[in-house]
Structure 1
Amino acid sequence: MTTTTETALSAPPRSPFRAWVARRLFRYAVKDLPVTVSFPDGSRIGRGGPLMRVVRPSAFFHRLGAQANIGFGEAYMAGDWTSPDPVAALTPFAARMATLVPRPLQVLRGWVDAHRPATELNTPDGARENIHRHYDLSNDLFEAFLDESMSYSSAWFEPGDDLHTAQLRKIDGILDLAGVTSGSRVLEIGTGWGALAIRAAQRGATVTSLTISVEQQRLARKRVAAAGMTDRVTVNLQDYREAAGTYDAVVSVEMIEAVGEEFWPTYFATLARVLAPGGRVGLQAITMPHDRLLATRRSHNWIQKYIFPGGLLLSVPVIEDQATRAGLRIEDRRSLGPQYAQTLAQWRTRFLAARDRVAAFGFDEVFERLWEYYLAYSEAGFRSRYLDVWQFGLRSSG
């Protein structure tokens, strides 16, 4: 099939000077990392540890010099570098994300970092296009590696849990924070494939669930019908900004990452606007360190280019500030960061085991390497604690 992965197979941009700078900076960054980077001539750098094998050094450093973070990921997609354990190889890089480039040279970030395309701004039309590029890829693709609940967010594991049990615990946790019980009127922002809406309906709630993914709406409605909950769950193809009505509970699981900085105030204002007096919000959000958000908020990285166009993670201070500005207060919170690393590890194992199925869906080998890198890159972020994920319970402060 034709996808943006084709760009990774083209010859990398040629800039001998940038490639030279990239080579020097890469060697500087790796010399103190607990990794082993090997080259075709037999040379190695790093303090020793997980192996990263640079197969085509010239292409690797030209990509790195041209687009830094984006080039590093594209080099993996193209096969310029590989690893028998990409998560282990990437984790030391994630742990030192803020210091890989020497501080005096960080002022050059604007020279090497790509900038976000204006077309990825999450206006109502832009958000639909951004979501379409990921969630409308293929329901079959997601079914190949998710558990039977089709939950595409961090699970909450306890000892002995399989993935499905842990996903249901996560859903119950966010429903509890939102106070969802029998008779609750619930608004869900971000349907996924219907698991949370079905679980809330099984508690006796009535649910209005919003998605802007055509494929998600189609399968979610089918799953709601199969669960016998069509009288309690309505799945609308609708932007969160168009939400109407009043609800006892609002729940939103890992959708806020797709909102975009320009629309954070609108998102939180929407939560406050539709919440009934005494109502509660259950919010699950992936976060990054606040200083790294400030340093990278204008940049365009590999995840944004290939996985979540228009996406931007928040920090906990930003969530606290935006909630306060909207008249909401955070009453409860729990971190599930290590749980996300475990979730991603299971997704990656399942995805790799389903390679034949993925190929049969029409996705090429470069796409498979793209997704392997995405899952490994994300897991490394959580294993290093560079990334975290939180469940928040909010209530109107009025």
Structure 2
Amino acid sequence: MTVAPERVAANHWPGLDVVPSGPRAAVSARIARRLFHAAIGRLDVTVVEGDASFGRGGPTMVITRPEEFYARIGRHQLIGFGEAYLTGAWDAEDLGGFLRVLAAEMQHLVPESLQRLRSVVVKRPPRRQRSSTKNSRNNIAHHYDLSNDLFELFLDPTLSYSSALYAGDPATAAAADLEAAQGRKIERLLDQAGVGEGTRLLEIGSGWGELCIRAARRGATVTSITLSTEQQSLGRERVAAAAREHGFSADQVSIELCDYRDVVGSYDAVVSVEMIEAVGWQYWPTYFQTIDRVLAPGGRVAIQAITMPHDRMLATRNTYTWIHKYIFPGGFLPSVRVLDEITREHSTLRMAEPFSMGQHYAQTLRLWDQAFLAAQRQVLDLGFDETFLRMWHFYLEYSRAGFASGYIDVNQLTFTRDDA
């Protein structure tokens, strides 16, 4: 477990050092306390608050500063819940286990009568985070340009920052299995897209180049686009090294800084791995219209997408979340249903049967978090602080809880059209 910070430096984390106060905060804190106690009383967890404990038993949460904890969630709901963890107002030895129980009951934590007030209470995403052409590069840089060295500390040697696909039961997979599982995920996507000798492939969202490398080894010519300067730089280095090692030409791969909306050319296949989450729901039609425009006759599309149930997507698409504020500004998860509807309405693409692999992501995130926690000293040496350690640990375990509970999923989706 990461160490709770003794204090929060305002210059590093603007506003996080300020605990909500005043009459309005006091009232909202009292309401939050009652709602939280009522919700926990129905769950298989244990919450310790001073000398008291409540819940039906299970993974334990310890509230170390109750006044701060309830003030934060009273004023800022789930954002405040996450921020209270960052400041050390609460902790959990088995953070992922505790969050998994909450995630499994997410739709029922707040009474249904109060959920009708959601649009009044929750904050809306700021316009500056909308994933427009103007804002997208800043949104991507916020996360992916943190530090290549940071990502290398907890990812496997392929530097794949997306769900792996394990050969057997993902729950039994070990760290030694992660690299092969990441390769298996990529190879399946390339197979679904029909990538082989002579294929002109467009990759939307480069990562650090592993998919480019594997496609080039199949004989494809790859154009890969990204908005991350850090990923472009290291991706190009990795492609050049792989070309020397595996005997393909480095000229087969081009990694360019380019917004997906600006793509030109004609491609036999389009592959995109966990990039659609950054597009924003307002731009999903544009995303698929772009793919439709550049896809050659008979072409195929393979997308790996983190998804959520359709009803939850509709209920939360105008909600500003902790993930937006601290991890992925401008992001939003689609449902499988909405992607099918959008492609039918706005393109000639047609979706095949989805391939669900959510439990594979839960294990991938568990292994990432184990590696991250083991590398805490190196993370600090890179210039990050104790609050960042808690933030990243919370992010990885919060995400793992979503997949482990089934609240969110990840799917490989194949799209074709009848123009062969």
Q: Secondary structure at the match of 2:72?
A: helix
Residue in 2 aligned with 1:205?
220
What's the TM-score once normalised by structure 1's chain length?
A: 0.97
CA distance in 1, matches of 2:310, 2:38: 26
1:179-237 CA-to-partner distances (Å, cap 9, x unmatched) read 10111000000000000011100111000000011111011001111111422100000
1:235-259 CA-to-partner distances (Å, cap 9, x unmatched) read 0000000111110100000000000
Residue in 2 aligned with 1:21?
31
Q: Secondary structure at the match of 2:47?
A: strand
Structure 1 residue identity aligned to 2:416: R
Structure 1 residue identity aligned to 2:111: P
Q: Secondary structure at the match of 1:391?
A: strand
CA distance in 2, matches of 1:259, 1:204: 30
CA distance in 1, matches of 2:29, 2:204: 44
Structure 1 residue 7 displacement after superposition: 3.1
Contact persistence 2:298–2:418 (CA under 8 A):
no
Contiguous gaps of at least 5 residues in structure 1? none
Structure 1 residue 13 displacement after superposition: 4.6
Structure 1 residue identity aligned to 2:268: D
Contact persistence 1:13–1:63 (CA under 8 A):
no
Structure 2 residue identity aligned to 1:36: T
Match among 256, 281, 294 for residue 276 of structure 2 = 256
1:256-298 CA-to-partner distances (Å, cap 9, x unmatched) read 0000011100001011111110000010000011111111110
Structure 1 residue 324 displacement after superposition: 1.2
Contiguous gaps of at least 5 residues in structure 2? 1-8, 244-248
CA distance in 2, matches of 1:111, 1:314: 23
Is residue 156 of structure 1 aligned with residue 165 of structure 2? yes
Match among 294, 297, 306 for residue 314 of structure 2 = 294
CA RMSD of aligned residues (A): 1.3
Matches within 5 A, 1:1-398: 5-14=13-22, 15-40=25-50, 42-159=51-168, 162-228=177-243, 229-325=249-345, 326-398=347-419
Structure 1 residue identity aligned to 2:179: H
Residue in 1 aligned with 2:246?
none
Structure 1 residue identity aligned to 2:239: V
Structure 1 residue 31 displacement after superposition: 0.6
CA distance in 2, matches of 1:132, 1:30: 37
Contact persistence 2:362–2:400 (CA under 8 A):
yes
Structure 2 residue identity aligned to 1:200: A
Runs of 4+ in 1 over 4 A off after TM superposition: 1-4
CA distance in 2, matches of 1:252, 1:99: 34
Q: Secondary structure at the match of 2:58?
A: coil
Contact persistence 1:38–1:44 (CA under 8 A):
yes
1:340-383 CA-to-partner distances (Å, cap 9, x unmatched) read 00000000000000000100010000011000000000000000
1:289-312 CA-to-partner distances (Å, cap 9, x unmatched) read 111111111010000110000000
